[in-house]
Amino acid sequence: MNEAQRKRFAAALQRVAGDEDMLVMLASIAAEDGPPMLKQVQQSVDTGNWSEAARTGHALKGLLSTFETGPPVDQLQPFIDAARSEDAAAAQHTHASVGPKLEQLMVEIETLARGE
């Protein structure tokens, strides 16, 4: 981990008791599982499969909460709630807002996993 990553993921490091190796290992898992989950959420939104969107969104929130508990991860909850209630307009709006931010977080996690 470089110094910028230590600073960026300081709260995540606290959650793993300062164990950098553990955080990098968790980043490797997230880097493998996260992109397909992001894609599945997008596909579920595109097809209006709200139960799948909510389920995958909830799993994604759990996966990413190791690294970030604030924005953008906490912004998944309004999306999950809208999908669960099958509020298409709200789900589409919240997904459009949070999706790019989640993709950026995923890039940061992938970089951490690669040790760059």
Predicted local confidence at residue 27, as pLDDT = 97
What is residue 76's predicted lDDT score, i.e. its pLDDT?
96
Residue 20 has pLDDT above 90, yes or no: yes
Q: Mean pLDDT across the stretch 40-55?
A: 97
DSSP code per residue over 6-63 = HHHTHHHHHHTTT-HHHHHHHHHHHHHHHHHHHHHHHHHHHHT-HHHHHHHHHHHHHH
Instruction: Provide the token pair at 103.
Output: 């993709």
pLDDT, position 95: 96
pLDDT digits (tens, 9 = 90+) for 51-79: 999 999 999 999 999 999 999 999 999 99
**Whether residue 116 has pLDDT greater than 90:** no
